[in-house]
């Protein structure tokens, strides 16, 4: 789903409309849920755990719960006080691991500092790890067992968008991933490698990013620095995926106002790219859609039904 941009008259890139693709994906999920239930299976179940009251996290968690309900999932949210102990959190995870109505368990990150995120992730049953953060799922992705893995939602959503922009396939193309996080950069690189791209992973210590970008047919920016990737870095005709979500001051919108920008200087890059994701409305909505897709996948596995591929 791509359409001509409307904001910048001379830009040539197709806008990869993540919101629209996410709506397509979630419509297919809702239909599949109906199908499951009609055949006597239970609805997919998603449990989201939030520790503390960080307002941004509350917004994200609320959005996930609403979307899950909209799709006919069994959706539960646990909001634990900020001073929750590690053992209490692990006990809740253990109870959800054992709960037959729950397919997916998501612990919202970041956790308060006194909690150990890796210990919590490793406590989740890998078969219920909707985020795809558990080492078992990371490992399955790395060894190419994608059918048995659960894959991190943001890179999975990015790949869906990249495939839409490149109907001829990705094989043999040069891909640059800027960012080496466990959540985005590393799994993104693994997915692109599996698609037979020639993959480069760059990061804050990389020398000469513009030279690396100049070769990239696919560029995924996931560094968390507002508009760091400039338009003149982009190889003409490249597919540009912007994972960044940076809130910057926007005095033009009034005192104290902010706006959301990506890691890519959008207006500049759109002049050269074949296709580009906007921020907001690009990768973000796809992340939530893939979270729902992973939950459905787990439910299908436990029902012994073939899971759709998105």
Ligand X SMILES: Nc1nc(=O)c2c([nH]1)NC[C@@H]1CN(c3ccc(C(=O)N[C@@H](CCC(=O)O)C(=O)O)cc3)C=[N+]21
Return residues touching ligand X (CB under 6 A). Answer: 60, 106-109, 131, 153, 245, 260, 279-281, 284-285, 287-288
Give the whole-angstrom CA distance, residue 22 versus residue 133: 21
Cβ burial, residue 144 (10 Å; 0-12/13-18/19+): exposed
- Give the 3-state secondary structure of residue 293: helix
Are 216 and 200 spatial neighbours (Cβ–Cβ below 8 Å)?
Answer: yes
**Known binding residues for NADP(+):** 179-181
**Nearest residue (CB) to ligand X, 50 versus 234:** 50
Give min distance, CB of 75 to ligand X, in A: 15
Are 156 and 191 spatial neighbours (Cβ–Cβ below 8 Å)?
Answer: yes
End-to-end CA gap in the chain: 14
Give min distance, CB of 83 to ligand X, in A: 20
**Known binding residues:** 179-181
**Nearest residue (CB) to ligand X, 59 versus 95:** 59
Q: What Å distances lie between residue 294 and 21, 27, 154, 166, 183, CA to CA?
A: 16, 14, 12, 23, 15
Give min distance, CB of 245 to ligand X, in A: 6
Give the whole-angstrom CA distance, residue 103 versus residue 235: 42
In 3D space, the residue among 263, 300, 59 whose CA is nearest the CA of residue 158 turns out to be: 263
**Nearest residue (CB) to ligand X, 104 versus 219:** 104
Give the whole-angstrom CA distance, residue 236 versus residue 36: 45
- Give the 3-state secondary structure of residue 20: helix
Secondary structure letter of residue 273 according to DSSP: -
Are 219 and 176 spatial neighbours (Cβ–Cβ below 8 Å)?
Answer: yes
What count of other Cβ atoms lies within 10 Å of the Cβ of residue 143? 10
Residues that are catalytic: 64, 108, 131
Give min distance, CB of 285 to ligand X, in A: 5
ω into residue 117 within 30 of 0, thus cis? no
Give min distance, CB of 150 to ligand X, in A: 12
**Nearest residue (CB) to ligand X, 51 versus 279:** 279
**Nearest residue (CB) to ligand X, 15 versus 279:** 279
| 153 CA to centre of own chain | 4
């Amino acid at each position: 789903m791509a359409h001509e941009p409307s904001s910048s008259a001379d830009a040539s890139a197709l806008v990869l409309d993540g919101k629209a693709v996410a709506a397509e994906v979630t419509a297919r999920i809702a239909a599949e849920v109906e199908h499951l239930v009609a055949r006597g299976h239970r609805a997919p179940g998603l449990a989201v755990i939030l520790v503390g009251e960080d307002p941004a996290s509350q917004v994200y968690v609320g959005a996930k719960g609403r979307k899950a309900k909209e799709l006919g999932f069994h959706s539960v949210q646990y909001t634990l006080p900020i001073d929750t102990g590690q053992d209490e959190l692990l006990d809740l995870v253990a109870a959800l691991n054992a709960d037959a109505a729950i397919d997916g368990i998501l612990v919202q990150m970041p956790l308060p500092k006194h909690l150990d995120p890796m210990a919590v992730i490793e406590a989740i049953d890998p078969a219920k790890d909707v985020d795809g953060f558990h080492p078992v799922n990371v490992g399955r992705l790395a060894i190419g067992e994608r059918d048995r893995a659960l894959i991190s939602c943001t890179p999975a959503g990015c790949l869906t968008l990249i495939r839409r922009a490149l109907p001829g396939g990705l094989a043999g193309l040069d891909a640059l991933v800027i960012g080496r996080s466990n959540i985005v950069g590393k799994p993104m690189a693994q997915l692109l490698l599996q698609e037979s791209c020639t993959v480069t992973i760059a990061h804050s210590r990389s020398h000469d990013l513009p030279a690396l970008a100049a070769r990239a047919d696919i560029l995924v920016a996931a560094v968390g620095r507002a508009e760091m990737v400039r338009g003149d870095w982009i190889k003409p005709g490249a597919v540009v995926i912007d994972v960044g979500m940076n809130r910057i001051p926007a005095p033009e919108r009034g005192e104290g106002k902010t706006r959301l920008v990506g890691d890519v200087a959008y207006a500049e890059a759109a002049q050269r790219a074949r296709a580009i994701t906007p921020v907001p409305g690009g990768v973000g909505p796809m992340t939530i859609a893939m979270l729902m897709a992973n939950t459905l996948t787990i439910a299908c596995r436990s029902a012994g039904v073939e899971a759709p591929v998105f």
